[in-house]
Chains A and B, each alone.
Chain A
Amino acid sequence: MSFDIHNIRKDFPILSRKVNGYPLVYLDNAATSQKPQQVIDAIVDYYSNYNANIHRGVHSLSQEATDAYEAARHKIQNHFNAKTACEIIFTAGTTQGINLVANGFASLLNKGDEIIVSALEHHSNIVPWQMLCEKTGAVLRVIPMNEEGTLLMDEYYNLLSDKTKLVFVNHISNALGTINPIEEIIEKAHSVGAAVLIDGAQSCSHIKPNLQELNVDFYVTSAHKMCGPTGVGILYMKEEWGNKLPPYQGGGEMIAEVSFEKTTYAGLPHKFEAGTPNICGGIAFGVAIDYLNAIGFDAIEAHENELLTYATNKLLEIEGLRIYGTGQKTSVISFNIEDLHPYDIGTIVDKLGIAVRTGHHCAQPIMEFYKIPGTVRASFAFYNTLEEVDALVEAVKKAKMMLS
């Protein structure tokens, strides 16, 4: 299928609406992606035609719902190239996946053990580990970054030792768009016997990861970043880790047998899926993955790179504009204009129908590094157009004129 931007845009009903009297230009894709009609239809179809609880009913409706939910798990397994479907655990999203792993490691860590995270992390990637360290006496170490927003790999190698038990980095930084060299990070961590958790929340809409080839231990992401619904995501964990980690929450689904004397837990993935899951969300996530694969990740990447290059060049023509994060990166542009507050720019461009994010992007340590209160962040998806980039640039120019 060839990449036809006009046909693709027709799949997204929201893209034809107006905001503040102007056509919506949605450039906050790093926060969440918009949903194609195919995904919206799947949600309606589920509740209209086969809503039932799964894994426990003998009735036909329950079987249909179970089959669809498990089929989605297989689609996700294939997409991310996990070895088995049982390594794919449905979660409420990236944050829950991270907390599940952090909770599991509480019983495996000893005082003085070390966890390494990167300086490029989202708050949700920092706080669970701080909590884990408080609980276990483990120490949190941070891989620093340079002015370009790129991690200092030499510093990373120096941090690694036999005390390192877990390394956690995002594949792509949400605040700057930096693509981290996860292949190298994983390989080096394994060489000292440490496990690795990769946060794919920002990358999964741009890059199709091959989890077996990466040889990563854990991987988390959210459906809503890749055209799926909110409130559902996955945690991939290698089967051996699935057997090692204790369950996260107790409840239905996660048990094999229960008596008041002893409960035996279900096997993977159900051991980590207590309670009735987001059935509809899981099924719709599968549909979103089909949708993205039908367009093709190579085509997506090519189009997004074109948007990134075009937008970077156009924005840099504005005097006093600085872009943060200039290394190897994806289609995210975090910027400020000299003397202007990002909040002011964001407010004016919003009045012109353009949705960008302003603020610290839940990554205050990065903002502290650059000594700025925040940035304006425009993040592009495959359904954005060059004309929309023009609209952004014009709006930013207008904001600059009004505010200076």
Chain B
Amino acid sequence: MTIEAIQEELIDEFSMFDDWMQRYEYMIDLGKSLPLIDEKLKTDDKLIKGCQSKVWLNSEMKNDKIIFTADSDAIITKGIIAVLVRVFSNQEPQAILDADTDFIDEIGLKEHLSPTRANGLVSMIKQMKMYALAYQTQANS
């Protein structure tokens, strides 16, 4: 599935909810269903800075696609990560670099996009794109 298609799918899913509470409950469920990350990967160098909760992000290359795995000690943050992993994991670096993130607004999580927001959604996206750039640079050299 392309990034755009996954984003459309998420917009569809979130459009079923009438209020913030249902949206958050869904996010919390997504967070709980996020595959567990290998404890050995939860090292300080995988921590994303700028989050009030801890966020570990790991990436690896498989068949020209980047696989992201991540975890957080806060459940709402984990829900946000689950959304991002679903959108960006198992995609080619160029597709990740080209992707826009307008869907976040459309699924009603715009408030988390503000750079002053302590959960670091912006930092997470930035870090994912940095990995994509690094893999692509590596592939081209």
Instruction: Please report A residues at the B interface, Cβ cutoff 8 Å.
Output: 20, 340-341, 343-344, 347-348, 351, 358-359, 373-374, 402-403
B34 within 8 A of A: no
Of A358, A359, A374, A403, the contact of B75 (CB 8 Å cutoff): A403
Indicate if the CB atoms of A351 and B52 lie closer than 8 Å.
no
Given A343-B74, A359-B52, 4 more pairs with CB closer than 8 A: A343-B119, A373-B54, A402-B24, A403-B76
Indicate if the CB atoms of A402 and B25 lie closer than 8 Å.
yes
Of A343, A351, A374, the contact of B77 (CB 8 Å cutoff): A343
B37 within 8 A of A: no
**Which residue of A347, A351, A358, A402 has the most chain B CB atoms within 10 A of its CB atom?**
A347
Of B20, B52, B76, the contact of A374 (CB 8 Å cutoff): B52
Indicate if the CB atoms of B118 and A344 lie closer than 8 Å.
no
Of A340, A343, A348, the contact of B118 (CB 8 Å cutoff): A343
Which residues of chain A have C-beta atoms less than 8 A from B25's C-beta? 402
Q: B5-25: which have CB < 8 Å to A?
A: 20-21, 24-25
Of A341, A402, A403, the contact of B53 (CB 8 Å cutoff): A341
Q: List 8 A-B contacts (CB under 8 A).
A: A341-B75, A343-B119, A344-B76, A351-B20, A359-B52, A373-B73, A403-B28, A403-B75
Report the separation of the CA atoms of residues A220 and B74 in the bound assembly, to the nearest whole angstrom. Answer: 36
Indicate if the CB atoms of A343 and B76 lie closer than 8 Å.
yes
Which residue in chain B gives the minimum CB-CB distance to A347? B76
Q: B87-133: which have CB < 8 Å to A?
A: 118-119
Q: B66-94: which have CB < 8 Å to A?
A: 73-77
Query: For the side of the interface on B, what is the size category?
Result: 10 to 19
Indicate if the CB atoms of B52 and A358 lie closer than 8 Å.
yes
Indicate if the CB atoms of A402 and B52 lie closer than 8 Å.
no
Indicate if the CB atoms of A343 and B53 lie closer than 8 Å.
yes
Which residue in chain A gives the minimum CB-CB distance to B51? A343
Which residues of chain A have C-beta atoms less than 8 A from B21's C-beta? 351, 402
Which residue in chain A gives the minimum CB-CB distance to B117? A347
Indicate if the CB atoms of B77 and A402 lie closer than 8 Å.
no
Least CB distance, A352 to chain B, in whole angstroms:
9
Report the separation of the CA atoms of residues A402 and B54 in the bound assembly, to the nearest whole angstrom. Answer: 20
Report the separation of the CA atoms of residues A373 and B21 in the bound assembly, to the nearest whole angstrom. Answer: 25
Which residues of chain A have C-beta atoms less than 8 A from B73's C-beta? 341, 373
Q: Which 5 A-B pairs have the closest CB atoms?
A: A341-B74, A343-B74, A343-B53, A343-B52, A344-B76
Report the separation of the CA atoms of residues A373 and B55 in the bound assembly, to the nearest whole angstrom. Answer: 12
Least CB distance, A125 to chain B, in whole angstroms:
21
Which residues of chain A have C-beta atoms less than 8 A from B118's C-beta? 343, 358-359
Report the separation of the CA atoms of residues A179 and B20 in the bound assembly, to the nearest whole angstrom. Answer: 39
Least CB distance, A264 to chain B, in whole angstroms:
46
Report the separation of the CA atoms of residues A347 and B76 in the bound assembly, to the nearest whole angstrom. Answer: 8
Report the separation of the CA atoms of residues A403 and B53 in the bound assembly, to the nearest whole angstrom. Answer: 15
Report the separation of the CA atoms of residues A373 and B25 in the bound assembly, to the nearest whole angstrom. Answer: 23
Which residues of chain A have C-beta atoms less than 8 A from B53's C-beta? 341, 343-344, 373
Which residues of chain B have C-beta atoms less than 8 A from A344's C-beta? 53, 74-77
Indicate if the CB atoms of A348 and B24 lie closer than 8 Å.
yes
Least CB distance, A78 to chain B, in whole angstroms:
39
Report the separation of the CA atoms of residues A344 and B77 in the bound assembly, to the nearest whole angstrom. Answer: 8
Least CB distance, B113 to chain A, in whole angstroms:
14
Which residue in chain A gives the minimum CB-CB distance to B54? A373
Report the separation of the CA atoms of residues A126 and B61 in the bound assembly, to the nearest whole angstrom. Answer: 44
Which residues of chain A have C-beta atoms less than 8 A from B52's C-beta? 343, 358-359, 374
Report the separation of the CA atoms of residues A20 and B108 in the bound assembly, to the nearest whole angstrom. Answer: 13
**Which residue of A343, A358, A373, A374 has the most chain B CB atoms within 10 A of its CB atom?**
A343
Least CB distance, A350 to chain B, in whole angstroms:
9
Report the separation of the CA atoms of residues A402 and B21 in the bound assembly, to the nearest whole angstrom. Answer: 9
Which residues of chain A have C-beta atoms less than 8 A from B75's C-beta? 340-341, 344, 403
Given contacts A343-B52, A359-B52, is CB(A351)–CB(B24) below 8 Å? yes
Least CB distance, A265 to chain B, in whole angstroms:
41
Report the separation of the CA atoms of residues A347 and B109 in the bound assembly, to the nearest whole angstrom. Answer: 12
Which residues of chain B have C-beta atoms less than 8 A from A374's C-beta? 52
Least CB distance, B46 to chain A, in whole angstroms:
17
Least CB distance, A371 to chain B, in whole angstroms:
13
Report the separation of the CA atoms of residues A85 and B54 in the bound assembly, to the nearest whole angstrom. Answer: 48
Which residue in chain A gives the minimum CB-CB distance to B119? A343
Report the separation of the CA atoms of residues A348 and B23 in the bound assembly, to the nearest whole angstrom. Answer: 12
Indicate if the CB atoms of B28 and A402 lie closer than 8 Å.
yes
Least CB distance, A227 to chain B, in whole angstroms:
25
Which residue in chain A gives the minimum CB-CB distance to B23? A351
Report the separation of the CA atoms of residues A374 and B77 in the bound assembly, to the nearest whole angstrom. Answer: 15
Which residues of chain B have C-beta atoms less than 8 A from A359's C-beta? 52, 118
Report the separation of the CA atoms of residues A20 and B77 in the bound assembly, to the nearest whole angstrom. Answer: 20
Which residues of chain B have C-beta atoms less than 8 A from A373's C-beta? 53-54, 73
